[in-house]
Structure 1
Amino acid sequence: MVNCMASKKVTVTIPEDLLDEIRAEAAERGLSAYVAEALRVKRDRDRLVELVDWLQEEHGPVTEDEHTTALDELHSLDAEHERRRTSGVGDAA
């Protein structure tokens, strides 16, 4: 996949041990692609935290029952995705 988005070179400082781990994990994709993806994930997570904070201000905190119900639904979805992945359901022919 070719990235057609404009890029800009920057200089960052990363702890040496972390950089060694990242280079090992990012070998095939390349360090820049790995770091860009990590930054996108962090940005998206920060936006979700802002949304959760806003929703809790508007509607109050999530109750324990709501939390349990949501986790149960997520576990059910994960199980269904795993079932489909291992059985080949939904794969393109």
Structure 2
Amino acid sequence: MSEPTGKYSITMPRDIAEAAKARSGPSGLSAYVAAAVARQIERDNLNELITVAEAAHGPVTDDEIQSLRDELVRARREQTEPGATAA
């Protein structure tokens, strides 16, 4: 069963509303906007977690980020290319 819904009135720039309406497809504008808001809430929550983690452990460096990106690329390659090994 789906979550209970409520009806709300929002105001947004017309060009954004029209673009969203054009892209919303069969699920409709309300579902499109709800998905966009849900993604923003996820981002806000992640930013809060990052702030807490950086306060406790210091900021993540660019080198650490690049290292993790490289690791992710290797892992994806190993999943899609049987027999592929990390370089």
TM-score (norm 2): 0.80
Unaligned runs of 5+ in 1: 85-93
Partner of 1:68 in structure 2? 66
> 2:43 aligned with 1:45, yes or no?
yes
Structure 1: distance between partners of 2:19 and 2:76: 29
2:54 alignment counterpart: 56
Q: Which residue of 1 aligns with 2:13?
A: 15
Runs of 4 or more, structure 1, over 2 Å off, are 73-81
**Deviation of the 1:77 alpha carbon:** 4.5
**Aligned mate of 1:30, from 24, 28, 31:** 28
What RMSD in Å do the two structures reach over aligned CA positions? 2.0
Q: Distance in 2 between matches of 1:17 and 1:78?
A: 38
Q: Which runs of no fewer than 5 residues in structure 2 stay unpaired?
A: 82-87
Find the aligned partners of 1:80 and 1:19 in 2 and give their Cα distance: 42
Aligned residues: 81
CA distance in 2, matches of 1:15, 1:80: 45
Whose RCO is larger (CA < 8 A, sep 6+)? 2
